Amino acid sequence: MINNLLLKIMISKGLYFLLLSSIGFLSAEIPAYSAKYNFESEEISITGTRTFKKINNGYEIRFEASNLLASMYFSSLFKITNKQVIADTYDIKIKPRFLNRNQSVKFNYDINIIKSSGVNVWQSNINKENNVFDPLNVQIMIRTFVRDGIQNFDLNIIDMENGGSKKYSFIVNGEEECLFENKKLNCIIVERSRIGSERTVKYYLAKELEYMFTKIIDSSPERTNKLELKKILSLG
């Protein structure tokens, strides 16, 4: 079941964003956490651990998962300068049974270049006026804006396949009661879209859990993928 088609689905149709999001507060006020999440599509179901922590002079968000068919590793290293998330490196290692896929993206602000190596090789210029995020550290920004009560915002996320970035629009679209470990939580729903694309993503952020993502649903005409919080291992 793990083949080129499945890998393309996981990479281009949402796994980057599922695993795989002025600023009033930033990660210094977002508590460190470790949690179990399950990724599910028509082709695969896999559970892994996502962690967010401070390391040295920066931060890391990491997702690791494995089963009999595949192993996945996603890591985002970044800093916070003048209340801005500044990407450093974004690494991916995916090893299905019959196919390996690695990609590493490095952000060099000394020469204003983003460079990718591995399965997708490209180089793009950095526009300092438009901050660019990777698929993991952008989720810090989503949590930030939602907690600050901002109802709509735009964010630029790197195009992992072709280089450069794409502009996505986010809008808060109400609240919904979410059930987690038999407890009712108040979740804010954020919808992500992009002009010219039929793909949409819904994020569910729980107020009671410091706006952690309890669920992310990535939908397109071809398929729907879902990432769901299963267990909190540590928080704060």
Three-class SS string for the chain?
A: CCCHHHHHHHHHHHHHHHCCCCCCCCHHHCCCEEEEEEEECCCCEEEEEEEEEEECCEEEEEEEEECCCCEEEEEEEEEEECCEEEEEEEEEEECCCCCCEEEEEEEECCCCEEEEEECCCEEEECCCCCCEECCCCHHHHHHHHHHCCCCEEEEEEECCCCCCEEEEEEEEEEEEEEEECCEEEEEEEEEEECCCCCCEEEEEEEHHHCCEEEEEEEECCCCEEEEEEEEEEEEC
Whole-number Å distance between alpha carbons of 33 and 57 = 18
Domains in the chain (CATH in brackets) are: 4-235 (2.50.20)
Q: Mean pLDDT across the stretch 10-35?
A: 57
Q: Which residues contact 121 (CB under 8 A, 6 or more apart)?
A: none
- How confident is residue 1, by pLDDT bands cut at 50, 70 and 90? very low
**What is the reported pLDDT for 222?**
86
| Average pLDDT of every residue of the chain | 86
Identify whether the C-beta of residue 67 lies closer than 8 Å to the C-beta of residue 2: no
**What is the reported pLDDT for 28?**
45
Q: Mean pLDDT across the stretch 80-102?
A: 82
- Please give the structure tokens belonging to residue 5: 């088609």
Closest by alpha carbon to 203, among 175, 161, 184? 175
Whole-number Å distance between alpha carbons of 221 and 133 = 26
Identify whether the C-beta of residue 142 lies closer than 8 Å to the C-beta of residue 21: yes
* Across 8-22, 72-86, 109-123, 191-205, least confident range: 8-22
Whole-number Å distance between alpha carbons of 10 and 227 = 12
Q: Which residues contact 70 (CB under 8 A, 6 or more apart)?
A: 2, 44, 46, 94, 95, 96, 97
Give the dihedral of Cα atoms 158, 146, 82, 77; nearest 10 deg. Answer: -40
Whole-number Å distance between alpha carbons of 134 and 53 = 17
Higher pLDDT, 101 or 27: 101
Closest by alpha carbon to 187, among 225, 154, 222, 217? 217
The structure's pTM equals 0.84
- Residues, the chain, total? 236
- How confident is residue 232, by pLDDT bands cut at 50, 70 and 90? very high
